[in-house]
Structure 1
Amino acid sequence: MDGLDPVVGSTWQDVPATDAAAAGMFLLRQDVSVLDDLADCGLKQFEELVDIGLVDVGHLDHVICHYSTNAFRDRAFDGLRKRVPTLDTDRWFSNLETCGNTGSASIFIALEEAWRTGRFSVGDTILLAVPESGRFSFAFAHLTVVAPPQNGAPS
């Protein structure tokens, strides 16, 4: 092995920078042919969370999903709708069209916008879904809207 072959735990920092550059280690690229597999894995993970009781689809009021392109919207929506047949587009929120893909901040920007525009009521439950194609990972959060404190503390 010449030190330039991919090895788990090794990076471009393990070889001289000129060798790393010559080997193309600084070229950023993504194998987009596996993005469908990422979506399938994320939907499978969602199914598992439902099956073990960490996501209660019977009390799911809203879904906020970050996706980098609308090409994934229908795939994600159809996959979630298989498990939540009552899920309709009124309960689905994304701001991709208005804010664009804002990377790791996307889900937080979408959550804040949905809150600020009055989509939520106390007691509503929200599923955040974040596929991250750069790292080929998927994350979920299941939130419940609570009332602000009544003791005069800032909300």
Structure 2
Amino acid sequence: MKEVYITKISKFLPNRPISNDEMEDKLGIINGKASKGRRIVLRNNQIKTRYYALDDDGNVTHNNAQLAKEAIEQLFDENFTSSDIDLLSCGTSSPDQILPSHAAMVHGFLKCDNVEINSPSGACCSGMNALKFGFLSVKSGQTNNAIASGSERISSWMKGHIFENEIKHLQALEDNPILAFNKDFLRWMLSDGAGAFLLENEPNGETPLRIEWMEGYSYAHELEACMYAGGDKLENGFLKPWSEYKTSDWSEKSLFAIKQDVKLLSANILKKGVDSLKRALTKHDLKPSEIDYYLPHISSHFFKDKLYQEMVDNGVEIPWENWFMNLSKVGNVGSASIFLMLEELAHSGKLKKGQKILLSVPESSRFSYAYALLTVC
């Protein structure tokens, strides 16, 4: 088995940073009324700026595959060109279309040579699953290198016009025409961007990071769907897909909008997260005190203190001074967030040889978790 190193890291954040006060202008007001939930959500998540693939007039500047392509192209130099890629593995929560696959579309924009492609589905863990596929491919010797990416273009899913038919339908029924909080909530949480890693079987680059192991856990056998799109959840918890609805229901119910069961999220995301963390640390006989940098993908600062207390209560406390996050600056970029965190840390000048970095990514869709341990070489 080969060793696997992250030898280059890149990011692409489209356009300019968007402040909290600009968000509703960018995404649009629904039914002529400002969102009642926006200030509450922003106060809790403590995100100050984020990025959208929209210009100042609200026009789309990049699709998802183009965001990934922009990040990946920054990995190329005279020592590694697009012609050298063996494997392209691209994860996302928000593909531009159902078919072709996301990685196929990214490959199309790159216009490089023939390569193997992989498109893991899912939400935030899709980026880590893209990384794991590349890691296993290089480790097994199947390929000498791999590019893994995580990217999101979620802004166009959250624009006000997406919900216009639903509001009109509620008005026709003489119901209160206010967007349900489980849909409005995520409009103020998610944003656009992309990150990419180059994986190689030799420790090239200035500060290569060796991937020691990766682990993943799912709790779908215990819990129903929590975050979903392309369907609606029935009272019994069953997720009914868009293909079983009438086409008129697609817009009247905003079936393709992303929705979050906030109560289910709060009751389980931290508990299952720490349970999976304990499983990973125990399996690899890793003590929390041996982790120099802990990079948790947290959707909101609302969960930060609660996560720490859950870790303390379960005997897996990682000291605050070892945590590294950039949520407040770049926002919650789903599958790309862990790439953006590691990119900032790797280019900070803080890393020292021998240090251990733990990547931690939860996915609330149906409660999945992914981990990776890295060593600075």
How does the TM-score come out when normalised to structure 1?
A: 0.75
In structure 1, what is the Cα distance between the partners aligned to 2:306 and 2:354?
A: 28
2:241 corresponds to which letter in structure 1? T
The answer to whether the 8 Å contact 1:131/1:137 transfers is yes
Q: 2:325 aligns with which of 75, 85, 94?
A: 94
Pick from 4, 18, 27 the counterpart of residue 248 of structure 2: 18
1:127 maps to which of 348, 351, 358: 358
Q: 2:368 aligns with which of 137, 143, 150?
A: 137
Equivalent residue runs for 1:48-87 within 5 Å = 48-53=279-284, 55-81=286-312, 82-85=314-317, 87=318
Q: Distance in 2 between matches of 1:99 and 1:26?
A: 25
Number of aligned residue pairs: 142
Q: Percent identity?
A: 32
* Structure 1 residue 140, shift from structure 2 partner: 1.3
Q: Residue 72 and residue 5 in structure 1: after superposition, are their counterparts in 2 closer, same or farther (change >3 A)?
A: closer
Q: Give the structure 1 partner of residue 348 of structure 2.
A: 117
| CA separation of 1:33 and 1:118: change in aligned 2, threshold 3 A | same
Structure 2 stretches lacking a partner, 5+ long? 1-231
For 1:152, the equivalent position in structure 2 comes to: none
2:260 alignment partner, SS class: coil
Structure with a larger share of its residues in strand: 2
Cα 1:27–1:108 change in 2 (3 A) is closer
Change (3 A) 1:115 1:12: same
Once the two structures are TM-superposed, the CA of residue 49 in structure 1 deviates from its matched residue by 1.4
**CA contact under 8 A between 2:362 and 2:369: conserved in structure 1?**
yes
- 66-75 or 97-106: bigger deviation: 97-106
Cα separation, partners in 2 of 1:84 and 1:44, compared to 1, 3 Å: closer
Distance 1:25 1:42, change over 3 A: same
Gap change, CA 1:10 and 1:31, over 3 Å in 2: closer
Deviations 1:40-83 (A, max 9, x none): 10110111112222644352111011111101111222333453
- The answer for the alignment partner of 1:43 in structure 2 is 274
Structure number with the higher helix fraction is 1
Give how far 1:130 is off.
1.2
Task: Report the Cα offset of residue 134 of structure 1.
Answer: 4.1
Which runs of 5 or more residues in structure 1 are unaligned? 147-155
Deviations 1:11-64 (A, max 9, x none): 212343124545663454211112231211011011111222264435211101
Alignment RMSD (CA, Å): 2.8
Contact conserved, 2:278 with 2:316, CA < 8 A, in 1? no
Contact persistence 1:64–1:92 (CA under 8 A)? yes
Alignment partners' CA distance in 1, 2:286 and 2:293: 12
One-letter amino acid of the counterpart of residue 293, structure 2: H
CA distance in structure 2 between the aligned counterparts of 1:129 and 1:5, rounded to whole angstroms: 28
1:141 match: secondary structure = strand
